[in-house]
Amino acid sequence: MREQDLRELLRSMSLEEKVGQMVQVTGAFLEEDAVITGPAADAGLTADDCRLAGSILGIAGAKRLREIQDRYMEAHPHHIPLLMMADVIHGYKTEFPIPLALGASFRPEAVERAMGMAAAEAASAGLHVTFSPMTDLVRDPRWGRVLESFGESPWLDARMAEAYIRGYQGEDNDLAVPGRIAACDKHFVGYGAPVAGREYNHSELSEHTIREYYLPPKIAAIQAGTACVMPAFQSLNGIPCTAYGKIQRDLLRGDLGFEGVTISDWSAVGELVAQGVAEDAREAAKLAIQAGVDIDMMSVCYARNLKDLVESGEVEERLVDEAVWRILTLKNRLGLFEDPYHGSSPEAERRTVLCREHREAAREMVADSLILLKNEGVLPLNPEKKTAFIGPYVDSRDTCGSWAIFQDRADTVTLREGVTECGLGENAEFFQGCQVLENTRVLGFGVEEVFGEPENREELLREAVEAARRADTVVLALGEHTLQSGEASSRGEIVIPAHQMELLRRVAAVNPRVVTVVYAGRPLDLREVERYSAAILVPFLPGTMGGAGIADVLYGRRSPGGRVSMSFPWGTGQIPVYHNDYSTGRPYDPAGAEQKFVSRYLDIPNEPLYPFGFGLTYGSFTYSPVRLSGDEMGAGETLTASVTVTNTGAMEATEKVQLYLRDEKATTVRPRRELKGMKALRLKPGESREAVFAVTEEMLKIWDREGRFLAEPGAFTVYIGPDSRTENGAGFRYR
């Protein structure tokens, strides 16, 4: 539709209709058989609210959404199409590994391709917008939603944010192209830092820390053209983001120039009352629209109050018009006025969803994102020798994580299937060993799983131990339950359940060649696992093709590609522990003599168990010293930093070469080092190649004492190596 016609449409809409555009309800309320009693009535919605609501969330399927769209448009006074939104977080039905694993791939180009596939599937099934990516930087693995983040590096998170948005929206951001969906960057801002890692808790972050660490991925998402942004539902420094005008209007729209649609988080507008900043739903609606929330997701505050707030003069109609204009513009960008189905159809769905190309890409992504943390000569497995696969994850199809809301578990490849379908199962045996949980109850979205103690508990264990004794090598597939991570799933003890550890100990007592495969939605405390395992492989929650991708790596068909993107703590007492922390006046040198008045713990180490950037492969790599094209750099200039990397191992593998910068002196205290570049080099045994990086002025920029973003003159060190601990560095001065 031409802009002029869209303006005309807006002018012709009644206030009630305009408010409707700003209301989002769950798709279930608009189904043909929906009756406005039950949940809709409980939520305080009337049939009219649903008739005028501008968008729905949470359901998918081409036929289902087409029917809703047809009925809705016919009944709508201006026949404006409905926007269909949902959480497509790491795939629609072909689930890729969870975002934390995708971050660990250190390969934005592969992530972009994967999210292009996710978009194609979701669009074919009738969706227009996904509530993704979550670009919240994270440091506390007790928080269950670290599974949705890319990790602790602002730079890496920013690259992944761009990759996600390009994947969903296409390089040119032309949303009308069939097979594309609009992105919604979330959550703005600081949701990734709930105090004590407890879900929905407030966050306390200085402006400096927000700018240095938490904003870069958000800025990258906005610059990449994210169509929507979701303000966070927690409070930041005492003010709920939903009602924080300085965050939404001044920072997001003003400083960062975001022009798209903002959508509250689920019932966040209404929660302003519980947070104690609004007296009632009416005041909540007023605060939210004044702060800048365009769409109210699933609280009745806008639906019930906005019209009256405008009519009584408490809220300017201009604010409603601006919000509705942005919403209509998004619908228009998606081409919905011409094709309200956005190219979706049951045929397109059949062609696209779970197609061979997507499944193959998901399988490759598993290998490229799983992290080999330890390998004392046991991997890859020898298919000629007997391997016992033991553990609750051997046959589990529950490996996609709690956000895979559209998956059908039947589509998931288990570890046993991965091994046998690869034709590797001849010398493999499979045993459950134990359940994933015992004597525990876990809750999800409308699901509850209760685990007791199986009657044959001892027998399962005994059988597993016997198999371990007979085998050359044991693969133990252990981990958290999928409902122990994700939203509303913070944990105080981030360990593998005790009875699974008992299995590990008993197996390791009869066979030291134990490969532990850890399924988890977060970096767990693996200290004890480390003690009993000869190798540790972490696929996190690997998605639909998990079993096949893991089998590829176990048997050496592919080399493991993942690198730690969120430090694995030595123990919970260290949390938060991350590689890019600030320099201190009293640094601790673990290699030095006993020191007291330094920054350290008396009882535990400072360093995490597995640091940022770390990950083994089946190759073995050496690095030449860093070469710099000069030792000085002037304003606007670029230096070149390079190393020669050689695979001295016996197998082909991909090395993820990482560049870190350290600002030796500045007007503000700087991180000890920061990731600023990475390159994937695939090298055959004996092969050498150069990794060349440009060191630009942009990379040197920091927030100075006056709040300016600039490069300050002084000394810098460039490090290039396999992980964040590398000492392979060279210095230069910026003039």
Residue ranges in contact with ligand NOJ by CB under 6 A? 87, 131, 186, 265-266, 487
Cβ distance to ligand NOJ smaller for residue 232 or 639? 232
Cβ distance to ligand NOJ smaller for residue 266 or 540? 266
Residues 6+ apart with CB under 8 A from 338: 1, 176
Cβ distance to ligand NOJ smaller for residue 157 or 265? 265
| Closest of 451, 547, 550, 539 to residue 500, by C-alpha | 451
Helix residue ranges, H only, 388-472: 415-421, 457-470
Q: Is the torsion defined by CA of 380, 386, 388, 393 positive or negative?
A: positive
- How far apart (Å, rounded) are the C-alpha atoms in residues 419 and 414? 9
DSSP bridge pairs for 674? 661
Cα angle vertex 520, ends 370, 552, to 5°? 30
Nearest distance, CB of residue 434 and ligand NOJ, angstroms: 33
| Closest of 303, 235, 305 to residue 274, by C-alpha | 235
Nearest distance, CB of residue 97 and ligand NOJ, angstroms: 19
User: Which of helix, strand or coil describes residue 236?
Assistant: strand
Nearest distance, CB of residue 31 and ligand NOJ, angstroms: 18
- Tell me the one-letter amino acid at 336: L
Structure tokens at 610: 């597995």
Nearest distance, CB of residue 251 and ligand NOJ, angstroms: 20
> What is the DSSP secondary-structure string of 522-544?
S----HHHHHH-SEEEE--S--T
Q: Hunting for tokens 């983001």 — which residue is that?
A: 241
Cα angle vertex 267, ends 261, 272, to 5°? 100
Nearest distance, CB of residue 528 and ligand NOJ, angstroms: 32
Cβ distance to ligand NOJ smaller for residue 186 or 416? 186
- How far apart (Å, rounded) are the C-alpha atoms in residues 713 and 197? 38
Cβ distance to ligand NOJ smaller for residue 265 or 398? 265
Cβ-closest position to ligand NOJ = 131
DSSP 624: P
Residues 6+ apart with CB under 8 A from 312: none
Nearest distance, CB of residue 131 and ligand NOJ, angstroms: 3
Residues classed as catalytic: 265
Q: How far is CA 686 from CA 20, 69, 312, in A?
A: 65, 60, 77
Cβ distance to ligand NOJ smaller for residue 59 or 675? 59
Cβ distance to ligand NOJ smaller for residue 264 or 387? 264
Q: Are 543 and 115 in contact (CB under 8 A)?
A: no
Nearest distance, CB of residue 266 and ligand NOJ, angstroms: 4
